[in-house]
Amino acid sequence: ERSGHTYILPVKTSNKITYHLVYDVKVRSMEPFGIFHTYIDAKSGEILRRVNLVNNATQFGVSGDVKMKSANDTLVNKPFSFQNIKINNNNYVTDIKGNIDVETSGVSTYLASFDGPYCKVDYDGRVRSSASGTFSANEPFAFNWNDNNSTLFERNLFFHANHIREKYKEIDPDCNVMDRLITIVLQMKSQMGTNAYSNLDSIVFTNVSDESMVLAGGPSVLYHEWGHSLNNLLYQSQGSPEGMVNPGCHEGTADATSCLLIDDSRIGPGVFKADTSLSIRNLLNQNKYPDDISGESHNDGQILGGAIWDLRLATTNELTTHLLQFARYGLPDDYDIGIAFSEWFIEFLVADDDDGDLSNGTPHLLEIISSFNNHQIGTNLIAALSFSHISLKDTENYKDPFTVNFDFDIKSAFPLKTDSVRLAYTTDDFATISYVSATEYGPGKYTADIPGQEASKFIKYFM
């Protein structure tokens, strides 16, 4: 850690004193262990002086056995960052590598539980796990959470709540809405059945004693609920008091938050004990708007989530995660799910833009349009929302042309322009189709004529 300052350091030898321009640097070292205040010659790079700032220091490391993607995974040992540890009745917090540098002498005591500045895991219906013991000074000490001192659910949820926050801080360092204590509650029994939900500062897993489903056995469901909290808290921080209001978009973006972090299109892989190959939902889908809208938010959200996952497949996980996070700042939302979907499409383009000018496109314009159009919520949805027409009525006058008037007025922050506007019609139920060009006779107003017929026929048409 360089201080940014330079100094003149006098160096005394046996017969003279020389003066050196030096950098002031702090160096952390494992072998030998310490934090060294170091003066480095600015010209030669030679270390002229160093002092260990840590006296009688012991490194206390914390790790735990967790599952990284699914309840089916084998356990892996990971460092536990941002965990509170009480040592000799003083409070410490592990760093991002799961370590604490402690000044100790002799034998010290420690007490650990699943608490930290950003996460606390609590049981409702049984005693939460904790561990205590002693360690000796000047010897690195490794404490490990495992099945002998804790439950898998506690370890998984505590580790992954901190893990997702760290990942999002890497993506968006200035976002501080999740720099808060999130309490995760494990309810042993619940009349709600087996479920999980977010309540801003808390995430609750219900009926965790149900052995047929292990929602807390992997990180996917936790990441989904954490995504709900991020949605609401970020929207509120940007001036939307209610947070995100559209339930379908809430579910779709929470699903995408989870899937992108584990890089798997499935929500809850391995949660069903009877068949661990099943999952709760899958963003690798062909769901389209409005065909697959049912009014149930988890179902409807798979349309938006599917578009985001298609973009991940068309580009990279890193890019898609970045665009999802920064699209949130545009507050895309509406009680009408079609309008909300169209706003998410626009905000992905805005997040992708690199020169402040949408009219010249964005670096990943084609991939974004293709991914959203796969689910009919891209340029095709904007076109649909811009269209209005009163259908022609039956008439006995079939010999004269049928004049079709319609509005196609694209209202969008993204400068879309029509390439061509045509009317298609058929008199044989689409066995054959004829096309006529439409003429714009006013801003966003078009007209086209279906030719008169020699005999009375049933005509279908679209624009």
What pLDDT digit, counting tens, does each position of 283-309 carry? 999 999 999 999 999 999 999 999 999
Residue 2: pLDDT over 80:
no
Q: How far apart are CA 130 and CA 147, in angstroms?
A: 12
Cα Rg, the chain, nearest whole Å = 31
Left, alpha or beta for 331 (phi > 0: left; psi -120 to 50: alpha)? left
Report pLDDT for 1.
62
pLDDT, greater one: 44 or 295: 295
Q: How far apart are CA 228 and CA 235, in angstroms?
A: 11
Dihedral, 394, 400, 401, 405 alpha carbons, nearest 10: -50
Q: How far apart are CA 443 and CA 165, in angstroms?
A: 48
Vertex 317: Cα angle to 312 and 323 (nearest 5): 80
Q: How does residue 9 score in pLDDT terms, banded at 50, 70 and 90?
A: confident
Report pLDDT for 4.
64
Q: How far apart are CA 134 and CA 61, in angstroms?
A: 13
Q: How does residue 355 score in pLDDT terms, banded at 50, 70 and 90?
A: very high
Arithmetic mean of pLDDT, 424-435: 95
- 171: helix, strand or coil: helix
Report pLDDT for 359.
78
Q: How does residue 413 score in pLDDT terms, banded at 50, 70 and 90?
A: low
Which residues have a Cβ under 8 Å from the Cβ of 44 and sit 6 or more positions away?
none
Q: How does residue 120 score in pLDDT terms, banded at 50, 70 and 90?
A: very high
Q: How far apart are CA 269 and CA 376, in angstroms?
A: 27
Q: How far apart are CA 205 and CA 133, in angstroms?
A: 30
Q: How does residue 419 score in pLDDT terms, banded at 50, 70 and 90?
A: confident
- In this structure, of 113-117, 126-130, 136-140, 321-325, the range with the lowest mean pLDDT score is 136-140
- 89: helix, strand or coil: coil
Q: Whole-number mean pLDDT of the chain?
A: 93
Arithmetic mean of pLDDT, 92-114: 93
Q: How far apart are CA 323 and CA 326, in angstroms?
A: 5
The model's pTM: 0.81
Arithmetic mean of pLDDT, 428-442: 95
- Pairing status of strand 202-206 against strand 107-113: unpaired
Of the chain, the percentage scoring pLDDT greater than 70 comes to 95
Q: Token pair of 100, please? A: 């604490």
Q: How does residue 138 score in pLDDT terms, banded at 50, 70 and 90?
A: confident
Residue 312: pLDDT over 70:
yes
